[in-house]
A = this chain, B = another copy of it.
Protein backbone atom coordinates (compact mmCIF):
# COMPACT_ATOMS: atom_id res chain seq x y z
CA UNK A 1 0.00 0.00 0.00
CA UNK A 2 2.65 2.48 1.04
CA UNK A 3 4.84 1.44 -1.85
CA UNK A 4 1.98 1.86 -4.26
CA UNK A 5 1.16 5.35 -2.99
CA UNK A 6 4.79 6.34 -3.24
CA UNK A 7 5.00 5.13 -6.83
CA UNK A 8 1.97 7.18 -7.79
CA UNK A 9 3.27 10.27 -6.03
CA UNK A 10 6.73 9.97 -7.55
CA UNK A 11 5.69 10.42 -11.14
CA UNK A 12 4.25 13.77 -12.14
CA UNK A 13 0.70 13.52 -13.47
CA UNK A 14 0.62 12.92 -17.17
CA UNK A 15 -0.95 15.51 -19.40
CA UNK A 16 -0.98 16.32 -23.08
CA UNK A 17 1.54 19.13 -22.69
CA UNK A 18 4.06 16.90 -20.96
CA UNK A 19 3.54 14.07 -23.46
CA UNK A 20 4.19 16.39 -26.41
CA UNK A 21 7.18 18.13 -24.85
CA UNK A 22 8.81 14.83 -23.90
CA UNK A 23 8.28 13.60 -27.45
CA UNK A 24 10.00 16.75 -28.76
CA UNK A 25 12.89 16.27 -26.34
CA UNK A 26 13.26 12.63 -27.35
CA UNK A 27 13.30 13.51 -31.06
CA UNK A 28 15.77 16.34 -30.45
CA UNK A 29 18.09 14.00 -28.61
CA UNK A 30 17.88 10.77 -30.57
CA UNK A 31 16.27 11.64 -33.86
CA UNK A 32 12.74 10.96 -35.01
CA UNK A 33 13.44 7.30 -35.74
CA UNK A 34 14.03 6.72 -32.03
CA UNK A 35 10.60 8.06 -31.19
CA UNK A 36 7.99 5.36 -30.81
CA UNK A 37 4.88 5.26 -28.67
CA UNK A 38 6.48 2.50 -26.63
CA UNK A 39 9.77 4.38 -26.21
CA UNK A 40 7.93 7.57 -25.25
CA UNK A 41 5.85 5.73 -22.67
CA UNK A 42 9.00 4.25 -21.21
CA UNK A 43 10.56 7.70 -20.94
CA UNK A 44 7.49 8.93 -19.09
CA UNK A 45 7.42 5.89 -16.84
CA UNK A 46 4.02 4.72 -17.96
CA UNK A 47 2.60 1.83 -19.91
CA UNK A 48 2.23 2.51 -23.70
CA UNK A 49 -1.55 2.55 -23.53
CA UNK A 50 -1.53 5.41 -21.03
CA UNK A 51 -0.48 7.77 -23.83
CA UNK A 52 -3.70 7.13 -25.68
CA UNK A 53 -5.51 9.04 -22.97
CA UNK A 54 -3.83 12.24 -24.13
CA UNK A 55 -3.34 11.72 -27.86
CA UNK A 56 -5.67 9.76 -30.08
CA UNK A 57 -2.81 8.06 -31.92
CA UNK A 58 0.70 8.63 -33.17
CA UNK A 59 -0.44 10.96 -35.95
CA UNK A 60 -1.95 13.30 -33.38
CA UNK A 61 1.27 13.14 -31.38
CA UNK A 62 3.25 14.22 -34.44
CA UNK A 63 0.75 17.00 -35.15
CA UNK A 64 1.28 18.28 -31.62
CA UNK A 65 5.04 18.20 -32.06
CA UNK A 66 4.74 20.25 -35.24
CA UNK A 67 2.69 22.83 -33.37
CA UNK A 68 5.49 23.23 -30.83
CA UNK A 69 8.09 23.84 -33.56
CA UNK A 70 5.98 26.28 -35.56
CA UNK A 71 5.12 28.30 -32.44
CA UNK A 72 8.85 29.00 -32.06
CA UNK A 73 8.91 31.07 -35.25
CA UNK A 74 9.18 34.79 -34.50
CA UNK A 75 6.25 37.11 -35.17
CA UNK A 76 6.64 39.34 -38.23
CA UNK A 77 8.29 42.74 -37.84
CA UNK A 78 5.60 45.33 -38.64
CA UNK A 79 8.15 48.08 -39.33
CA UNK A 80 9.96 46.38 -42.23
CA UNK A 81 8.97 46.41 -45.88
CA UNK A 82 7.36 43.19 -47.06
CA UNK A 83 10.48 41.68 -48.57
CA UNK A 84 12.65 42.28 -45.53
CA UNK A 85 9.92 41.12 -43.17
CA UNK A 86 9.27 37.92 -45.13
CA UNK A 87 12.99 37.28 -45.34
CA UNK A 88 13.53 37.72 -41.61
CA UNK A 89 10.59 35.53 -40.77
CA UNK A 90 11.72 32.70 -43.00
CA UNK A 91 15.21 32.88 -41.54
CA UNK A 92 13.62 32.64 -38.08
CA UNK A 93 11.72 29.56 -39.24
CA UNK A 94 14.99 28.11 -40.44
CA UNK A 95 16.54 28.64 -37.00
CA UNK A 96 13.60 26.83 -35.40
CA UNK A 97 14.10 23.94 -37.78
CA UNK A 98 17.81 23.77 -37.06
CA UNK A 99 16.90 23.36 -33.38
CA UNK A 100 14.53 20.52 -34.31
CA UNK A 101 16.05 18.74 -37.33
CA UNK A 102 13.24 16.16 -37.36
CA UNK A 103 10.72 18.98 -37.91
CA UNK A 104 11.07 18.98 -41.66
CA UNK A 105 10.39 15.30 -42.09
CA UNK A 106 7.48 15.31 -39.67
CA UNK A 107 5.87 18.42 -41.11
CA UNK A 108 6.11 16.96 -44.60
CA UNK A 109 4.49 13.76 -43.43
CA UNK A 110 1.34 15.53 -42.18
CA UNK A 111 -1.79 14.99 -44.23
CA UNK A 112 -3.45 18.23 -43.24
CA UNK A 113 -2.12 21.49 -41.81
CA UNK A 114 -2.63 22.06 -38.09
CA UNK A 115 -4.21 25.31 -36.83
CA UNK A 116 -0.81 26.83 -35.99
CA UNK A 117 0.46 26.00 -39.48
CA UNK A 118 -2.63 27.55 -41.05
CA UNK A 119 -2.19 30.65 -38.88
CA UNK A 120 1.42 30.95 -40.00
CA UNK A 121 0.41 30.67 -43.64
CA UNK A 122 -2.37 33.18 -43.13
CA UNK A 123 0.08 35.60 -41.59
CA UNK A 124 2.54 35.09 -44.45
CA UNK A 125 -0.16 35.87 -47.01
CA UNK A 126 -1.05 38.95 -44.99
CA UNK A 127 2.54 40.19 -45.17
CA UNK A 128 2.58 39.87 -48.95
CA UNK A 129 -0.79 41.57 -49.33
CA UNK A 130 0.31 44.42 -47.03
CA UNK A 131 3.28 44.89 -49.35
CA UNK A 132 0.83 45.61 -52.13
CA UNK A 133 1.11 42.32 -54.03
CA UNK A 134 -2.07 41.37 -55.87
CA UNK A 135 -4.12 38.39 -54.75
CA UNK A 136 -3.16 36.68 -57.98
CA UNK A 137 0.57 37.16 -57.53
CA UNK A 138 0.36 36.36 -53.81
CA UNK A 139 -1.28 33.06 -54.64
CA UNK A 140 1.47 31.94 -56.97
CA UNK A 141 4.18 33.31 -54.69
CA UNK A 142 2.84 31.10 -51.89
CA UNK A 143 3.13 28.08 -54.17
CA UNK A 144 6.64 29.12 -55.25
CA UNK A 145 7.89 29.59 -51.69
CA UNK A 146 6.16 26.42 -50.64
CA UNK A 147 7.66 24.70 -47.65
CA UNK A 148 10.67 27.01 -47.87
CA UNK A 149 8.51 29.36 -45.78
CA UNK A 150 9.20 26.98 -42.88
CA UNK A 151 12.91 27.26 -43.47
CA UNK A 152 13.18 24.08 -45.51
CA UNK A 153 15.85 24.09 -48.13
CA UNK A 154 15.46 21.84 -51.14
CA UNK A 155 19.00 20.54 -51.12
CA UNK A 156 20.07 17.02 -52.05
CA UNK A 157 20.93 14.42 -49.46
CA UNK A 158 21.22 16.90 -46.61
CA UNK A 159 19.09 14.94 -44.18
CA UNK A 160 21.99 12.93 -42.92
CA UNK A 161 24.69 15.53 -43.01
CA UNK A 162 26.55 15.82 -46.25
CA UNK A 163 25.17 17.09 -49.52
CA UNK A 164 25.57 14.91 -52.58
CA UNK A 165 28.16 17.04 -54.34
CA UNK A 166 30.22 17.28 -51.19
CA UNK A 167 32.96 14.82 -50.77
CA UNK A 168 34.03 13.59 -47.37
CA UNK A 169 35.85 10.70 -49.01
CA UNK A 170 39.62 10.36 -48.98
CA UNK A 171 41.43 12.14 -51.80
CA UNK A 172 42.43 8.84 -53.35
CA UNK A 173 38.87 7.93 -54.28
CA UNK A 174 38.21 11.56 -55.20
CA UNK A 175 40.49 11.09 -58.18
CA UNK A 176 38.55 8.00 -59.16
CA UNK A 177 35.29 9.90 -58.87
CA UNK A 178 36.72 12.64 -61.07
CA UNK A 179 37.26 10.10 -63.83
CA UNK A 180 33.59 9.10 -63.85
CA UNK A 181 31.93 12.39 -62.83
CA UNK A 182 34.28 15.10 -64.12
CA UNK A 183 31.80 17.96 -63.77
CA UNK A 184 30.96 17.14 -60.17
CA UNK A 185 34.65 16.87 -59.40
CA UNK A 186 35.31 20.27 -60.92
CA UNK A 187 32.64 21.96 -58.80
CA UNK A 188 33.65 20.14 -55.64
CA UNK A 189 37.32 21.01 -56.15
CA UNK A 190 36.46 24.68 -56.59
CA UNK A 191 34.06 24.77 -53.63
CA UNK A 192 36.46 23.12 -51.22
CA UNK A 193 39.18 25.52 -52.38
CA UNK A 194 37.08 28.64 -51.87
CA UNK A 195 35.52 27.68 -48.59
CA UNK A 196 38.16 25.59 -46.93
CA UNK A 197 37.27 27.07 -43.56
CA UNK A 198 33.94 25.30 -43.52
CA UNK A 199 34.37 21.83 -42.13
CA UNK A 200 32.56 18.77 -43.37
CA UNK A 201 30.47 19.57 -46.39
CA UNK A 202 32.72 22.28 -47.74
CA UNK A 203 29.56 24.29 -48.43
CA UNK A 204 28.00 27.03 -46.34
CA UNK A 205 24.40 25.94 -45.85
CA UNK A 206 23.31 29.34 -44.60
CA UNK A 207 24.78 31.05 -47.66
CA UNK A 208 23.10 28.59 -50.01
CA UNK A 209 19.76 29.00 -48.26
CA UNK A 210 19.88 32.79 -48.47
CA UNK A 211 21.13 32.63 -52.07
CA UNK A 212 18.05 30.78 -53.30
CA UNK A 213 15.66 32.61 -50.97
CA UNK A 214 16.87 35.97 -52.24
CA UNK A 215 16.69 34.81 -55.85
CA UNK A 216 13.03 33.99 -55.31
CA UNK A 217 12.22 37.14 -53.32
CA UNK A 218 13.92 39.32 -55.94
CA UNK A 219 11.91 37.52 -58.60
CA UNK A 220 8.67 38.14 -56.70
CA UNK A 221 9.51 41.83 -56.32
CA UNK A 222 10.29 42.15 -60.01
CA UNK A 223 6.97 40.58 -60.98
CA UNK A 224 5.18 42.81 -58.52
CA UNK A 225 6.76 45.99 -59.87
CA UNK A 226 5.90 45.06 -63.45
CA UNK A 227 2.30 44.32 -62.41
CA UNK A 228 2.56 40.68 -63.41
CA UNK A 229 -0.66 38.74 -63.87
CA UNK A 230 -1.14 35.01 -64.43
CA UNK A 231 -3.65 35.67 -67.21
CA UNK A 232 -1.12 37.71 -69.18
CA UNK A 233 2.28 36.09 -68.63
CA UNK A 234 5.29 38.12 -69.70
Contacts and interface: CB of A to CB of B under 8 A. Distances in A.
Interface of A: 108-113, 117-119, 121-123, 125-126, 129, 135-136, 138-140, 142-148, 152-157, 159-160, 163-165, 180-184, 186-187, 190-191, 194, 203, 207-208, 211-212, 215-216, 218-220, 223, 230-231
Contacts of A129: 183, 186
A44 to B, nearest CB: 28
Most buried by B among A121, A143, A165, A220: A143
A138 B157 CA distance: 18
A124 B194 CA distance: 22
Count this chain's copies in the assembly: 2
A180 to B, nearest CB: 8
Contacts of A231: 194
Nearest to A188: B139
Nearest to A177: B118
A interface majority secondary structure: helix
Contact of A211 (B110, B140, B153, B186): B140
A146 B136 contact: no
Given A121-B184, A155-B147, A215-B144, A164 B208 contact: no
A190 B231 CA distance: 13
Contact of A112 (B109, B112, B148, B157): B157
Contact of A154 (B118, B121, B146, B218): B146
24 contacts: A109-B159, A112-B157, A113-B156, A118-B181, A119-B180, A119-B181, A121-B156, A122-B183, A135-B186, A135-B187, A136-B194, A138-B187, A139-B191, A140-B208, A142-B187, A143-B155, A143-B211, A144-B215, A148-B154, A194-B231, A207-B230, A215-B220, A215-B223, A219-B219
